[in-house]
């Protein structure tokens, strides 16, 4: 699909991440204003809450944009999702009849404060990238036992903490936890020493599933409202001690950062691509009816305090072994009901090459091969005041489709939180 031209000239720049082909959804404010729903277009934000209040945008028999979240719109369902997109395209396309009215509801993107775009109902994180799983397994179990026996049959995941999902720009404090050195007799309580990031894509569930009713992969795909970039901050040393036998707990509970704009499934349609050839056949309920991944170029930037930003990893979402639709379908096999606003983390997205690894654990190979930055400093894991920024783009015919930055800065651990 080529670029859809807008009367807003900035949206026609081939390097602009928010052309008319995109129309991502977020929640924004400016000084002195309350957070409200908006749509990114070019270098502006269209205030859809104000459009609805003015009677120019009606999506349902009652207001759905009168709150600082997109959950009410999600709950309307796919037909209304498409209707909204059609209305927005009509407002903003080159030659639009309502240009003069709509232009009054545009606000500069520069200087806007972005907020959580939706209320997270539940959060589930998966372990669905083969390169990442192979790298981590090789480090800890050897190449011959890198993948667990179930990995090629099932998208492995765990239930995380919805309460610690935060929007891009939120600082992340280094966590405390139990740490145990290999030669120590007992653990100690201390700040994490091996704090890490994980490059992921988050899928947002926009429609519920029935209690006790599994869904197919095709049905799961239709339930997904859109996608965000996701950094699942990870305390590797806390996890190493706590994870047996039930898996991650406090090591993954500190924070999960998401990008502020929801890129809709409709916008990503031209970029669909297939999952890789299967080494072992999947059970029928996990087989996909068509391409379910997307060609999204991804990068990770690390900026030390008083240092220059450096791209430390580049990869692509098409490297995943299991798609979000497969993950969602598997999530319902037990009858687990999915809710509007559920968030599914893809799992770390790593590629086959060293510079395409989506975590410092892999980039430094467990700390044994520290990453060297241009200023001569090294990183095995994150230092205090390091800022991590994830970016994602799709490259279309004459346009770029972007997600907006997903960033967070590591703040020092609290002083002993138990000393009163």
**The pair of three-digit structure tokens given for residue 198, joined into one six-digit string:** 């994980």
Of 107, 132, 330, 331, the active-site residue reads 132
Q: Are 93 and 5 in contact (CB under 8 A)?
A: yes
- Calculate ∠ Cα 14-23-45, nearest 5°: 95
- Which residues have CB under 8 Å from 140's CB, separation 6+? none
Cis peptide bond prior to 336, omega within 30° of 0: no
Which residues, other chains included, contact 60 with Cβ-Cβ below 8 Å and sequence gap of 6+? 76, 80
CB distance 374 to 310 below 8 Å? yes
Cβ-based neighbour number of residue 12 at 10 Å: 18
Which two three-digit tokens encode residue 11? 């949206």
Is 131 a catalytic site residue?
Answer: no
Question: Hey, CA dihedral for 175, 176, 177, 181, is it positive or negative?
Answer: positive
Structure tokens at 413: 């651990």
Residues assigned a catalytic role:
132
């Amino acid at each position: 699909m080529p670029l859809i031209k807008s009367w807003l000239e900035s949206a026609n720049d081939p390097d602009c991440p928010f052309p008319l082909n995109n129309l991502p959804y977020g929640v924004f404010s400016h000084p002195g204003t309350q957070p409200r729903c908006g749509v990114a277009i070019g270098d502006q934000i269209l205030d859809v809450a104000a459009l609805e209040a003015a009677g120019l945008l009606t999506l349902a028999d009652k207001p759905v944009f009168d709150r600082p979240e997109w959950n009410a719109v999600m709950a309307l369902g796919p037909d209304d999702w498409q209707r909204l997109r059609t209305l927005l395209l009509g407002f903003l396309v080159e030659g639009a009849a309502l240009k003069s009215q709509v232009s009054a509801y545009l606000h500069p993107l520069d200087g806007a404060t972005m907020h959580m775009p939706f209320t997270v109902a539940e959060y589930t994180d998966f372990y669905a990238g083969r390169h990442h799983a192979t790298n981590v397994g090789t480090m800890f179990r050897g190449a011959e036992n890198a993948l667990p026996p179930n990995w090629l049959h099932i998208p492995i995941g765990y239930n995380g903490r919805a309460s610690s999902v935060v929007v891009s720009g939120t600082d992340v404090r280094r966590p405390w936890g139990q740490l145990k050195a290999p030669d120590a007799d007992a653990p100690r309580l201390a700040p994490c020493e091996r704090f890490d990031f994980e490059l992921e894509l988050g899928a947002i569930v926009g429609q519920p599933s029935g209690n006790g009713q599994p869904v197919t992969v095709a049905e799961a795909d239709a339930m997904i409202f859109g996608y965000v970039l996701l950094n699942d901050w990870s305390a590797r040393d806390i996890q190493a001690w706590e994870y047996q036998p039930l898996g991650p707990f406090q090591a993954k509970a500190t924070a999960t950062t998401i990008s502020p704009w929801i890129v809709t499934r409709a916008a990503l349609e031209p970029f669909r691509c297939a999952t890789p050839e299967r080494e072992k056949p999947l059970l029928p309920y996990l087989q996909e009816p068509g391409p379910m991944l997307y060609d999204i170029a991804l990068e990770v930037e690390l900026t030390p305090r008083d240092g220059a930003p450096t791209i430390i990893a580049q990869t692509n979402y098409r490297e995943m072994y299991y798609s979000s639709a497969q993950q969602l379908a598997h999530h319902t096999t037990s009858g687990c009901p999915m809710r509007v606003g559920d968030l599914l983390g893809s799992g770390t997205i790593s590629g086959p090459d060293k510079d395409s690894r989506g975590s410092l654990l892999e980039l430094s190979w467990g700390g044994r091969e520290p990453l060297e930055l241009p200023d001569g400093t090294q990183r095995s894991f994150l230092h205090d005041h390091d800022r991590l920024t994830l970016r994602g783009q799709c490259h279309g015919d004459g346009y770029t489709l972007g997600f907006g930055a997903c960033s967070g800065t590591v703040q020092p651990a609290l002083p002993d939180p138990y000393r009163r």
